[in-house]
Amino acid sequence: MLIFVFAVSPVVTVTSPSSVVILEEMLVLSCDVQGDPQPGFQWSSPPGANAIVDSTQLTIPSAAPENTGSYTCTAINPQGTGSDTILISVRGRAVARLLGI
């Protein structure tokens, strides 16, 4: 009997309800990581961002201007590396109303 084992390099998808967050509101980013063997992963965020990482989620509890920027989830396993990035913008309430957000 032959058994085939396929190793797969990481595939990463970052999801968010929006790429724009209103000042002082919460935003949760999710990192979906697939690969074989199961990859390890890490988040990177802008300097000074008040972000909390809990497993595959990154939470911005109260958005501030410092949270504007790129958020990247990077996964690594013996087969390689994968990453996905999302650009988050923080807007004041007045600007958000003008933009219809």
Query: What is the per-residue pLDDT across 26-41, written as a single tens digit (0 to 9) for each?
Result: 999 999 999 999 999 9
Q: Is 98 contained in some domain?
A: no
What is the count of structural domains for the chain? Answer: 1
Q: Please report whether residue 101 resides in a domain.
A: no
39 in a structural domain? yes
The model's confidence at residue 93, banded by pLDDT at 50, 70 and 90, is confident
C-beta of residue 88 within 8 angstroms of C-beta of residue 21: yes
Could you tell me if 73 and 12 are in contact, meaning their C-beta atoms sit under 8 angstroms apart?
yes
Which residues contact residue 2 at a Cβ distance below 8 angstroms, ignoring those fewer than 6 apart?
Answer: none
- Whether residue 96 is predicted with pLDDT greater than 70 in this model: the reply is no
pLDDT band at 99; cut points 50, 70, 90: low
Domain span holding position 22: 8-92
* Domain-embedded: residue 66: yes
Residue 99 within a domain: no
